[in-house]
Every structure is written in C-alpha cells, then in structure tokens.
Amino acid sequence: MFRMVDSSLTENERFVEVDFYDTDLDGRRFISCRFNGCDFTEKTMAATVFEGCAFFNCRFNDAQLEQVAFTGCTLSDCGFFMATLAGCKLSGSTFADCSWTHAVVRGGQWPMVTMRQAKLDGLDLSDVRLAEADLSESSLKRVVFDDADLTGATLRGCDLREADLRGARVDSVNLAGARFGSTRMDVDGALAVAVAQGIVIG
C-alpha cells in the first residue's frame, strides 16, 4: 500500500509505477506532478484535483471518478477501460493515444479539451460541455451528444456515422471533412451546422 504524506496538497512530485488502489485520494490536490506507469485500476476518487500534471502509461480501468478535475493536464497512453467519469472537469487537458472502450460518462465540464484521433465510439456524452474542444479526426461513431455543448468545437475529419447530435449546441462547430451516415440531428442543429459551413439558407 502506498501512503501519501499527511497533506491535502502535493506539488512537483514524481510518481513511478505506484499502485494507488488502497490510497485515499479524495479531496486531494496535485499540482505539476508527474505520474509514470501508475495504476488507478478500480480506484474510487471523489473531488480529487490534478492541475498541470502529466500522466504517461497510467491505468484508470474500471475506476470510479466523481467530480475529479484534470485541468491543464497531459495524459498519454492512458487507459480508461470501463471507467466511470461523473461530473468530471477536463478543462484544457490533452489526451493522446488514450483508450476509452466501454467508459461511462455522466455529464461534466470538458471545455478546450484536446482529444485528436481519439476512438470514442459508442460513448454517451450527453450533458457534457465540450465548448472549443478539439476532437479532430476522432472516431465518434454512435456517440450520443444529447444536450452537449459543442459551441466552437473542432470536429474536423471526424467519423460521425450513426452519431446522435439531437439537442446538442453546435454553433460555430468546425465539421470540415467530417463523415456522416445515418447521423441524427434536429432541425435547429442542422441549420447551425449549415451556416457554420458557409451555406447560405433562404
């Protein structure tokens, strides 16, 4: 069992291949820390805050993350297989080569998040704020965006086949080169997308 120092704030620390399963991280705050090869598998965390941290090859598989914040962080080669993210904040963070298979998302604040070339097929991103997010060239097949905020988001080159954009805010969204097929969208959303693509209506 890895034991943290008796403090709610940890700054500029490096954690290598640490298994956090039995470590209480609730309410803790990490600033400018590095996590390399760490294991958060089946970990339950609530109100934990990571600011400007870097994660490489870390595992969050089957983790329960409730109101956890990753702000301005970089996560590379991390796994979120079957993880649950409830009301999490990912503002300004970059996710590169991360896996999201069977992940569960319940709302959250993800503005300005970067997830380029991500494979997010089948995720339910309802009620997630993705304003100005960059999901360029990602696979978003069958993704549900009900009541999601995609204002100013970049979905350039994304695969949106069978995605459900009904109820989503899509003002100023960049869909250049996106693939559509059996994609669902309400009338207001379709009009907003058309205008964003330079189509003059009427």
- pLDDT single digits (tens) 15-61: 999 999 999 999 999 999 999 999 999 999 999 999 999 999 999 99
Residue 76 lies in a domain: yes
78-116 pLDDT, tens digit each: 999 999 999 999 999 999 999 999 999 999 999 999 999
Name the percent of the chain lying above pLDDT 90. Answer: 85
- CA-CA distances (angstroms) from residue 188 to 84, 105, 142, 169, 183? 31, 25, 20, 9, 15
Of 60, 78, 102, which marks where a domain is finished? Answer: 102
Is the residue at 59 inside a domain?
A: yes
161: its two tokens = 């086949």
Distance (Å, whole) CA 157 – CA 43:
35
Same domain for 81 and 150, yes or no, is no
Question: Looking at residue 156, what is its pLDDT?
Answer: 95
Q: Residue 197 above 70 pLDDT? A: no
Q: What is the CATH number of the domain that holds 96?
A: 2.160.20.80
Domain assignment of residue 196, yes or no:
yes
Q: What gap in Å lies between CA 91 and CA 110, rounded to an integer?
A: 5
Clarify whether residues 114 and 202 are in a common domain: yes
pTM: 0.91
**pLDDT for res 188:** 76
Please give the residue range of the domain that contains residue 160: 110-202
- Alpha-carbon distance of 42 to 48, in angstroms, equals 15
The pLDDT score that the predictor gives to residue 191 is 77
Domain count, the chain: 2
Please give the sequence-ordered ranges of beta strands (E in DSSP) within 32-147, or none if there are none.
Answer: 34-36, 44-46, 49-51, 54-56, 64-66, 69-71, 74-76, 84-89, 94-96, 104-109, 128-129
Pair 76, 97 in one domain: yes
